[in-house]
Amino acid sequence: MTTKCRASVRIVVCLFLIGASLAGVPKAAAACQPADSTGSAVLDEWGNRFTSLGASVPETAFRTQIRTTIAQLAMFDAVNAVLDGPYQPFASKPPSPCGASPDAAAIRAAYIVARNEFPTKTATIDSAYSASIAAVHASPSAIADGIVVGEAAAYAVLTVRIGDHRNDPELEGYTPASGPGVWLPTPPAFANPQTPFLQFVTPFGYDDPARFRPHPPPALDKRKYAADYNESKDVGRATDTSRTAEQSATALFWSPSASALWNANIRSLASSMDLLTAARFEAIGIAAVMNSLIACWDAKFTYMFWRPVTAIQAGDGDGNDKTDGDQTWTPFITTPSHPEYPAAHTTVGAGALGFYTVWFKTRRFPLAFTGNAGTVRHYTSVDEVEEEEGNARVWGGMHWRNSTEVGAALGRRVGRYTARHLLRRLDD
């Protein structure tokens, strides 16, 4: 090919690219190449850092979960702005200079949220930020531009969350009560309930914590209650039980905090995604977990239903002749310190899985899940996971069967709604 011909080809190609830009390809996408990113690593570094900060304050893990969700959404808005993503932001889409570093934007967004949420830990946060920014592979100007975008994104999210009740007193919304069917502090600690204030926290993507509130639990004189009572009394007791070794192993597998387990699973699935996709996946997924907790706590403190350990020890006084009491009964796994109905584990699990079904557009896909002590189990469908997580809470003696089923139905609704309404594509 002659030099003149090559020049002509270059001109044609250039004209074609210009035409494509004018036909609908954004000019920023054609002319602006952002700095390199490291995928989801930066999101997980700062998301997990919030867990450590919360433990060091210390504060309840659920309050930290709210702060983590805010940070995830701020990081998404920052990355979405720098990469000009085709998604609705949570709070804002700040203007971004060409070539800004998305990693620097995400780090700065998380840093600003961390400083706001943990004001007594500024030295720790500043040190972590310096190390995190120093590891970004980009030019000084790209980093500086990313920092500006990340800061604007973070402050916009924090502004939206003003008045969301995340800093309310721990026991707000709890009035001690007693009598058949009413939750009482459970052994061995007999502690106050965990984070009743959570029932008032504004969800992410909608406003009313009670939006998905389920119907009340069965009355104590109903056949359904008696059936659940006798099942949990048998398979959930600590000793002299019909529970099998495999059922015991399953109860233990699912025994850690549901939000911690599902946050980790969400992050593991995001690990192979590009930064923008991972930022969106983690933000929606962790918001679905948080929204499920809020919906669950709204129901728990509305109905204040008693736990098996209380109910079975007082079973002779519940007015149901099908429920024989046992004052020596204890559960296989220590009962969490909050009301029974609905089950938090199944609500949160179904919330995350509801998000997965919307994202992956199927209820059947392989899922590796890490549970207690780092043990990994493999599943092939959403239904399989939901069934096992529900069984685990009955076999552990912490819940009635009905509560696990209602929790799963509640979580599905919350997770799907969150996935369909939060950070949607602009062309949806």
Alpha carbons 388 and 260: distance in angstroms, whole number = 18
Going along the chain from its start, the domains and CATH numbers come out as 41-160 (no CATH), 196-421 (1.10.606.20)
Alpha carbons 414 and 348: distance in angstroms, whole number = 9
Show pLDDT as tens, one digit a residue, over the chain (428 residues): 333 333 332 323 232 222 333 333 333 334 466 666 667 899 999 999 999 999 999 999 999 999 999 999 999 999 999 999 999 999 999 999 999 999 999 999 999 999 999 999 999 999 999 999 999 999 999 999 999 999 999 999 999 999 999 999 999 999 999 999 999 999 999 999 999 999 999 999 999 999 999 999 999 999 999 999 999 999 999 999 999 999 999 999 999 999 999 999 999 999 999 999 999 999 999 999 999 999 999 999 999 999 999 999 999 999 999 999 999 999 999 999 999 999 999 999 999 999 999 999 999 999 999 999 999 999 999 999 999 999 999 999 999 999 999 999 999 999 999 999 999 999 98
Alpha carbons 269 and 44: distance in angstroms, whole number = 12
Which uninterrupted H or E stretch holds 54?
helix 41-56
Alpha carbons 395 and 250: distance in angstroms, whole number = 8
For tokens 């109860």, what's the residue?
251
Which uninterrupted H or E stretch holds 364?
strand 364-370
The pLDDT, as a whole number, for residue 40 is 87
**How many beta carbons lie within 10 A of that of residue 359, not counting itself?**
15
Alpha carbons 12 and 248: distance in angstroms, whole number = 70
pTM of the entire structure?
Answer: 0.92
The pLDDT, as a whole number, for residue 29 is 38
What is the DSSP secondary-structure string of 246-313?
Answer: HHHHHHHHT-S-HHHHHHHHHHHHHTTS-HHHHHHHHHHHHHHHHHHHHHHHHHHHHH-BPPHHHHHH
The pLDDT, as a whole number, for residue 13 is 28
Which uninterrupted H or E stretch holds 366?
strand 364-370
161 and 287 Cβ atoms separated by less than 8 Å: no
Alpha carbons 104 and 84: distance in angstroms, whole number = 15
**How many beta carbons lie within 10 A of that of residue 144, not counting itself?**
14
